[in-house]
Structure 1
Amino acid sequence: MSYQEVFTEFWKQVEESVQEGNFAKLTMAKTIGKQELKNIFVRPMSLDSDAKLLVKHRYRSREVEDKELELSLVETKNVIQDHLLNPFFSVVLFTTEKDVIFKINKKKAGSIVENPPTFSDVILAERE
């Protein structure tokens, strides 16, 4: 199955976790090569009907300042999709119920793996 189809299934779980109030964090990682952009972290600022998420771009170089954006769920999805394969090959959803890992392999096929939860509480983020 193409990674886009699997990502759609994965993103449904992200939306459900926000709606159910158990979304703790989302992390993009696993690049090929040493990219300037090291990680993208997403943390909840509010999980009400108009959820706001803090999206942080963390850079490898200390000379490049990290970038923080306050985005809606739809805007966050667009940021995540824009960075799939460019440069990230995995996205991890952390909820208080389970961890969900979305991966893209070398053949550009997607997969989803679920693990026991890392987080037991949801902690709302604040802008730095």
Structure 2
Amino acid sequence: MSYQTEFEEFYEQVKSSIQNGTFAKLTMAKTIGDTDLKNIFVRLRLLEDNSYDFAFTFRYKTEEVERFHSIEQTFLILSSYIKNPFTNALLFTTEKDLTFKVNKKGAGSLIEQLPTFKHASDVMLEMVEKKIV
């Protein structure tokens, strides 16, 4: 079984939440085994030219590393960490929380839950105010 279709749908929801102005944050969690990399946190970053990209925070056991990637690069980067070492990706929006999970057999699933956040991220709110999205 493959998780690619579900992960593509998950990422479409990420892009849709940005276009709708509801994006709060994205997190990769639940590692396979004991790994040095513990979490990846992804948030929006507004650039000086009013475009945007993603700020990644890679949380390791002993340090945090921040990197910046375009919307297009983000899908490839996140997908490279599925099952290597993460089994879950969580999208938090003001409309819902969406969890992508991949099981031991490699099957993917999407689970919708009530939203954790009542407000979009500050950067998202600024982008809406400036009519960037």
State the TM bucket, normalised to the shorter chain: 0.7 to 0.9
- Checking the alignment, whether the CA contact within 8 Å between 1:27 and 1:39 is kept in structure 2 is yes
Residue aligning to 2:74: 76
How much does 1:70 deviate? 1.8
Correspondence 1:94 to 2:92 = yes
- Checking the alignment, whether the CA contact within 8 Å between 2:25 and 2:121 is kept in structure 1 is no
Deviations 1:44-67 (A, max 9, x none): 12399833211110001x2xx311
5 Å-filtered alignment, 1:54-65, equals 54-60=55-61, 62=62, 65=63
5 Å-filtered alignment, 1:27-38, equals 27-38=27-38
How high is the TM-score relative to the length of structure 1?
Answer: 0.87
In 1, Cα distance between equivalents of 2:74 and 2:121: 18
In 1, Cα distance between equivalents of 2:108 and 2:50: 30
Residue aligning to 1:51: 52
- Checking the alignment, whether the CA contact within 8 Å between 1:91 and 1:102 is kept in structure 2 is yes
How high is the TM-score relative to the length of structure 2?
Answer: 0.84
- What SS does structure 2 have at the residue aligned with 1:41? strand
- Checking the alignment, whether the CA contact within 8 Å between 2:32 and 2:84 is kept in structure 1 is no
In 1, Cα distance between equivalents of 2:46 and 2:108: 30
How much does 1:43 deviate? 0.9
How much does 1:124 deviate? 3.5
Kindly tell me the number of residue pairs found equivalent between the two proteins. Answer: 122
Structure 2 unaligned residues grouped into runs of 5+ = 124-133
Structure 1 unaligned residues grouped into runs of 5+ = none
How much does 1:107 deviate? 0.6
Identity %: 49
Q: What amino acid is aligned across from residue 46 of structure 1 in structure 2?
A: L
* Root mean square deviation of aligned Cα: 1.9
- Checking the alignment, whether the CA contact within 8 Å between 1:50 and 1:72 is kept in structure 2 is no
